Amino acid sequence: MKQQSQFLQNETQRYALIGILFGFLFPILATTIRIIEAKLPFSLSSIIAVQAADSLLWIIDTAPFFLGLFAAFAGRRQDGLQKLNSELSSRENELRIVQSTLEKRVEQRTQELSVANQKAEKRVQKLQAIAEIARKAISIRTMSQLMPSLAQLISEQFGFYHVGIYLIDELNQYAILRASNSGGGIRMLHRGYRLKVGEKNIVGFVAQRGQARIASDSGDDVFLAEADLLETRSEMALPLKSVDQIIGVMDIRSIEVNAFSQEDINTLSILADQIAIAIQNTILYEKSERALREAEIASSQASGQAWKGYAESIQTKGYRYNGIRPEPLRESLRSSTENGTLLHPVRLRGQTIGRLELKASNPSRRWTEDELAILEAIAERVAIALEGARLLEDAQKRATQESFLSDIAAKLGTSFKLDSILRDTVEELGQTLKGSTVSFQLVDPLARPATEVQKANGNSEPGMKSE
């Protein structure tokens, strides 16, 4: 049975066997018919006799061979079709497996893309929040407004429970809390809360190393839960750097465990850089404003002193135009309450250096806006012109002094005798300082100086006197 099943293992063999068996029916049936027609008994001798007598039966006897051969061809074709069908089924199964694999990969990739898209959307939202915070921070020009505004904006934009901004002192010893949004942080702020740089906590670590760090109350040795912030479960600190200098630390806290990740560090480091820039710009702006105010005050004082001495040195203090010609003023202008009189100050760097008086011939006259604007513009231009004239006169005086000093230095440089140097010195000074007698004498440098005594008595330097 096993050999037979192995022999009939394909359609060619089975079809050939069936064809041969079916082909035997033809010679059997033809031989039987011939025996019946010849009225012979059914026996082997009758079969041989009929076969020998009828040559047509010989052709019919070949039917099993030809039918078996034709059936073998059909079986071979069927084997080919079955093989092809088997290959197609195998291919179909493979395609189904590939399709299933691709569907799983597509589904997995879709999930990955969805997760990546969600992360990208969150990152975009964070970047938009950072841009909004930076935009608002730029418009704030004072540290007293900038620091609390930053803490509040960061908390609102990102939903953090606590945001604290520390600045490092000038000695680089302490990180001092300068702003916070939470109630506990504000209480700490009022107490002047500070942490030592390098202390064993997350803020001290970041203040010293300049590297962002995350901590949690699930066993982190640098986690620090202050009494005012007991709800803290996660903490992240980011350095505030200006160029390569650490100027502070941004401390962020959450009420959730393990709320921060490396992705948060990467994103919020951009925010920390923007905050550092805003703080540094505000500090520089305040310094420049303070320096500018001090310079303006010094310039105003210097200008006032200069104009005080200048006004005292000139004889003509002003002019009045009476409708015919200008004439010098004989008395200072004073505030007038008469109708139709307008007194306008002439200011230079905040100092009043003059006054313009307009007195109408008609006491009931009202000065128009255009006339007041003209008077304001004239006052400004007069102040600038007077300052220019004063500076030019000072420059000419300095030039004259420098010329005199240059001439006397050149003359003294040609003298090589002590007597001629002393004589030329007093002569040049006497010719320059009109109306005075100039004396010059040498003194013993080891003798007790008389400078202090003469100064106490209000005299001049030793060896010099003015008459």
Calculate mean pLDDT across residues 392-396: 83
Establish if 260 belongs to a structural domain: yes
Give the H or E element holding residue 426: helix 418-432
**Residue 359: CB atoms within 10 Å:** 14
Q: Do 230 and 282 belong together in one domain?
A: yes
Q: Is 27 strand, coil or helix?
A: helix
**How many domains is the chain built from?**
4
Q: Is 356 strand, coil or helix?
A: strand
Task: Work out the angle at residue 69's Cα, subtended by the Cα atoms of residues 68 and 74, and round it to the nearest 5 degrees.
Answer: 90
pTM exceeds cut of 0.75: no
Q: pLDDT grade, residue 166 (50/70/90)?
A: very high
Q: Which of 382, 397, 414 is the last residue of a domain?
A: 414
Q: pLDDT grade, residue 120 (50/70/90)?
A: confident
Residue 378 pLDDT more than 70? yes
Establish if 50 belongs to a structural domain: yes
Establish if 200 belongs to a structural domain: yes
Least confident of 69-73, 170-174, 260-264, 310-314: 310-314
Residue 94 carries which side chain, given as an amino acid letter?
E
pLDDT tens digit sequence for 226-279 = 778 888 888 999 999 988 889 999 999 988 888 888 888 988 999 999 999 999
Least confident of 122-136, 217-231, 314-328, 375-389: 217-231
Establish if 153 belongs to a structural domain: yes
Q: Do 162 and 279 belong together in one domain?
A: yes
HSE of 302 in the Cβ direction (CA atoms, 13 Å)? 8
Calculate mean pLDDT across residues 299-324: 71
Establish if 460 belongs to a structural domain: yes
Q: Do 338 and 424 belong together in one domain?
A: no
CA–CA separation, 388 and 353 (whole Å): 13
Least confident of 107-111, 310-314, 390-394: 310-314
Residue 179 pLDDT more than 90? yes
69, 23 Cβ separation under 8 angstroms: no
Which pLDDT does position 3 carry in this prediction? 47
pLDDT tens digit sequence for 70-92 = 877 877 887 788 888 888 988 89
Those residues whose C-beta lies under 8 Å from the C-beta of residue 168, and which sit 6 or more positions away, are 174, 175, 176, 197, 207, 246, 247, 248, 249
Helix, strand, coil % in the chain, rounded to nearest 5:
60, 15, 25
Residue carrying structure tokens 């590939």: 98
Between residues 110 and 1, which one has the greater pLDDT? 110
Which pLDDT does position 417 carry in this prediction? 76
Which pLDDT does position 330 carry in this prediction? 63
Percent of the chain with pLDDT over 90: 18
Calculate mean pLDDT across residues 427-444: 77
Establish if 346 belongs to a structural domain: yes
Q: pLDDT grade, residue 334 (50/70/90)?
A: low
Q: Do 180 and 233 belong together in one domain?
A: yes
Q: Do 266 and 337 belong together in one domain?
A: no
Percent of the chain with pLDDT over 70: 87
Which pLDDT does position 332 carry in this prediction? 62
Least confident of 1-5, 145-149, 225-229, 368-372: 1-5
Alpha helices (runs of H) in 220-353, residue ranges in sequence order: 262-313
Least confident of 37-51, 93-107, 312-326, 356-370: 312-326
What are all long-range contacts of 254-257, with beta carbons under 8 Å and residues at least 24 apart? 254/160, 254/161, 255/161, 255/231, 257/216, 257/217, 257/218, 257/233
Q: Do 165 and 195 belong together in one domain?
A: yes
Q: pLDDT grade, residue 466 (50/70/90)?
A: very low
Q: Do 177 and 67 belong together in one domain?
A: no
Q: Do 192 and 283 belong together in one domain?
A: yes
pLDDT tens digit sequence for 182-195 = 999 999 999 999 99
Establish if 164 belongs to a structural domain: yes
Q: pLDDT grade, residue 339 (50/70/90)?
A: low
Q: What is the domain range of residue 453?
A: 418-467
Q: Do 438 and 426 belong together in one domain?
A: yes
Between residues 65 and 267, which one has the greater pLDDT? 267
The string of DSSP letters for 181-245 reads SSHHHHHHHHTT-EEETT-SSHHHHHHHH---EEEETTT-TT----GGGTT--EEEEEEEEETTE
**For the chain, what is the radius of gyration of the CA atoms?**
58
The CATH number that applies at residue 240 is: 3.30.450.40
Which pLDDT does position 162 carry in this prediction? 92
Residue 452 pLDDT more than 50? no
Task: Work out the angle at residue 159's Cα, subtended by the Cα atoms of residues 158 and 161, and round it to the nearest 5 degrees.
Answer: 125
Q: Do 31 and 148 belong together in one domain?
A: no
Q: Do 173 and 245 belong together in one domain?
A: yes
Residue 317 pLDDT more than 80? no
CA–CA separation, 45 and 42 (whole Å): 8
The first and second tokens of residue 280, run together, are 């540094």
Q: Do 260 and 145 belong together in one domain?
A: yes
Between residues 375 and 467, which one has the greater pLDDT? 375
42-46, 262-266, 334-338: which has the highest mean pLDDT? 262-266
Mean pLDDT (the chain, rounded): 80
Calculate mean pLDDT across residues 95-102: 91
CA–CA separation, 361 and 358 (whole Å): 10
Residue carrying structure tokens 């063999």: 13
Which pLDDT does position 411 carry in this prediction? 75
- The alpha carbon of 196 is separated from its chain's Cα centroid by a whole number of angstroms, namely 28
Which pLDDT does position 42 carry in this prediction? 80
Residue 66 pLDDT more than 90? no
Backbone angles phi, psi at 192, to 5 degrees: 70, 40
Q: pLDDT grade, residue 465 (50/70/90)?
A: very low
Least confident of 14-28, 418-432, 446-460: 446-460
Establish if 403 belongs to a structural domain: yes
pLDDT tens digit sequence for 419-434 = 778 887 877 777 777 7
Those residues whose C-beta lies under 8 Å from the C-beta of residue 463, and which sit 6 or more positions away, are 439, 440, 441, 442, 443
Which pLDDT does position 440 carry in this prediction? 79
